[in-house]
Amino acid sequence: MENPGDEWPKYLEIQPWMEINLKRVRELGLDLGGRKSVLDIGCGTGYFLYICQYLGHDVLGMDLDETHGFTEMIDLLGVKRVIWRIEAYQPLPDLGRKFDVITAHMICFNGHKSDKLWRISEWEYFLDDLAANQLVPGGQVCLELNREYDDSLYTPELKAYFEARGADIHTQRVHFNPLRPAPAAVATTVR
């Protein structure tokens, strides 16, 4: 497949994706407790945010505006979204507030299936930016990675880096609760 994003119509099958996103909501404990602020990076159709919003959370999505079907679904669901392209070594925009929970499911912004796949240094910049500018102290970050052409999700070095920052890792799911500061020494030669 030339472009992994070419398979977007599958995301318009509402029932299976609502079930998947309800499971994500439950795994993060967003189905219980008080109101939280939630940022979903790469929000796609907005199903995850719609469920969070239905449960009383204050939500915001962030994504590109390149897939017409996603834009229509976001509008239909009444989910707020900012248009932004995530790039290596570039901070996220000032969103005017910080978030209790930041998610990114089925990540493609990390150079997925390309020769520009992020290494530790790109992830460090991204996570440091989240911690400094987007996340409340003690907030949680949940990343869900896609498999690469070689069927990998991350190198052993990247996995160790995530764990050093407090991640609980289950296959493609990397959950920081909370996100810890970066370790003092970071190897930047591996992804």
Task: Name the more confident of 19 and 13.
Answer: 19
Task: Return the amino acid letter for 159.
Answer: K
| 60, part of any domain | yes
Whether 100 and 139 have beta carbons less than 8 Å apart is answered as yes
Percent of the chain with pLDDT over 70: 90
| Any domain includes 24 | no
Residue 71 lies inside a defined structural domain of this protein = yes
Residue 79 CA from chain centroid, whole number: 16
Helices vs strands, H then E, count in the chain:
5, 7
Assign 10 a pLDDT band (cuts: 50, 70, 90): low
140 in any annotated domain: yes
In a domain, 14, yes or no: no
The residue segments making up the domain with residue 74 are 34-87+95-176
- Angle in degrees, 0-180, between the axes of helices 14-27 and 47-54, rounded to the nearest 10: 60
Dist CA 15 CA 95 (whole Å): 31
pLDDT tens sequence across 18-32: 999 999 999 999 999
The identity of residue 91, as a single letter, is P
Q: Which of 126, 150, 143 is nearest to 177 (CA)?
A: 143
Q: How confident is the model at residue 8 (pLDDT cuts 50, 70, 90)?
A: low
Mark out the alpha helices in the chain (DSSP H runs).
14-27, 47-54, 68-77, 120-129, 156-164
CATH number at residue 52: 3.40.50.150
- Number of folded domains in the chain? 1
What's the whole-model pTM score?
A: 0.90
Q: Each residue of 146-180: pLDDT tens digit? A: 999 999 999 999 999 999 999 999 999 999 999 99
How far apart, in Å, are the Cα atoms of 31 and each of 26, 53, 59, 72, 114?
6, 11, 14, 26, 36
**Considering the domain boundaries, does residue 183 fall inside one?**
no
Residue 167, in any domain of the structure = yes
Cβ-based burial of 7 (10 A; exposed 0-12, middle 13-18, buried ≥19):
exposed
Q: Which residues of 135-162 are buried (b: 16+ CB within 10 A; e: fewer)?
A: bbeebbbbbbbeebeeeebbeeebeebb
CA 101 to chain centre: 10
Quick check: is 120 in a domain? yes
